[in-house]
Amino acid sequence: MNYKVSIVIEKDEYGYYAYCPELEGCQTQGDSLDEIMVNIKEAIELYLET
User: Residue 11 — pLDDT band, cuts 50, 70, 90?
Assistant: very high
pLDDT digits (tens, 9 = 90+) for 24-37: 999 999 999 999 99
Residue 35's pLDDT is 97
Kindly report whether the global pTM for this prediction surpasses the value 0.85.
yes
Average pLDDT along the chain: 95
Q: How far from 40 is each of 6, 15, 22, 25, 31, CA to CA, in Å? A: 11, 14, 13, 12, 13
Residue 19's pLDDT is 98
Residue 2's pLDDT is 83
